[in-house]
Amino acid sequence: MIRQLQGRTHEVWSGIAVVRDGEQRTAAECTRVQFARLSEAEIAAYVECGESLDKAGAYGIQGAAAQFVTRLEGDWTNVVGLPLARLRRVLAEFA
């Protein structure tokens, strides 16, 4: 997966659904992440560290893979796993 992502821009999408007292709100968030071109040695070292084994997309932007990111457009927390700013806005709709 890292080999496929390297040198390219990809999109990370998350969906949110909140239900309260029968009311439902939904939203989606997209963040564009650009990875640097990586050598085979860099890819092998990252895979060997084990960080990619339990991650959707095979990398953790909050960990060692942060060094591969050359550009980010959107919400960093979306890439981590939960778009907090979008969730806050969705929850505010219930106020």
23-81 tens-digit pLDDT: 999 999 999 999 999 999 999 999 999 999 999 899 999 999 999 999 999 999 999 99
Distance CA 95, CA 81 (A): 25
Phi, psi of 8 (to 5 degrees): -135, 170
Q: Are 43 and 51 in contact (CB under 8 A)?
A: no
Q: What is the pLDDT of residues 7-36, one digit of tens each?
A: 999 999 999 999 999 999 999 999 999 999
Instruction: Classify residue 54 by burial, with Cβ atoms within 10 Å: 0-12, 13-18, 19+.
Output: exposed
Tokens of 31: 């963040």
